[in-house]
Structure 1
């Protein structure tokens, strides 16, 4: 094997090394987001994490925000005592049941007594429906026990 062939083989592996370094970096970023979420979620009775948003429920207060490698940012909250209605929507259309044919942005929507709408992003439709059902039970006055993620 000549020097030129060895060099060309080495150059073929260089892009693979670059891809590996990028993937390792992205994995570290996601790990940092998840660690910040774990610390943040300890204060809540129930919580959820996905790439769209984090959400936590403690008593009658819902708090949500955006996970980043530096922590949870853009925190918002809502008191459940001010919520009149809860539903799930996808791309602005209200959805009643879980269907796998839905495509678009998923939100859990809370309508307050003042008519304000709080939209909490979700990436998984079944999880959005589970949170809707949980909050509807809470609004109806039922006591909710156990873990929820």
Structure 2
């Protein structure tokens, strides 16, 4: 589950009742966004058709571990990735 409020992104694991393990970070702190398919960085403009493990990886300006937000579908991850990339490019 991924949500946006201004420059803040909140994500967590979906459950039947409500999302759990929620984490929030600011897009202002993000240096780059990578699309990962099966733990390999792939091009947002030419993503593969299939993959088992899909995630957006957020690299930060500060030397902290990247955040990986899992997705179930490549097209949805690509849409979010392009949209969020445009937001960090405009900062």
* Match in the other structure for 2:6: 59
CA shift, 1:70, in A, is 2.9
Match of 2:48 in 1: 99
Give the counterpart of 2:78 among 115, 120, 129.
129
Question: Residues 35-114 of structure 1: matches in 2 within 5 Å?
Answer: 54-96=1-43, 97-100=46-49, 102-114=50-62
The structure whose Rg is larger is 1
Q: Distance in 1 between matches of 2:48 and 2:39?
A: 16
Which 5+ residue runs of structure 2 have no aligned equivalent?
A: none
Aligned to 1:117, which of 63, 66, 84? 66
Q: Kindly indicate whether structure 1 or structure 2 has the higher relative contact order, using CA contacts under 8 Å at least 6 residues apart.
A: 2
Structure 1: 5+ residue runs without aligned partners?
1-53, 143-149
Counterpart for residue 21 of structure 1: none
- For residues 55-94 of structure 1, give each alpha carbon's deviation from its aligned partner in whole angstroms, at most 9, with x where no partner exists: 0011100000111123210001111110000010012100
Write 1 or 2 for the structure with the bigger share of strand: 2
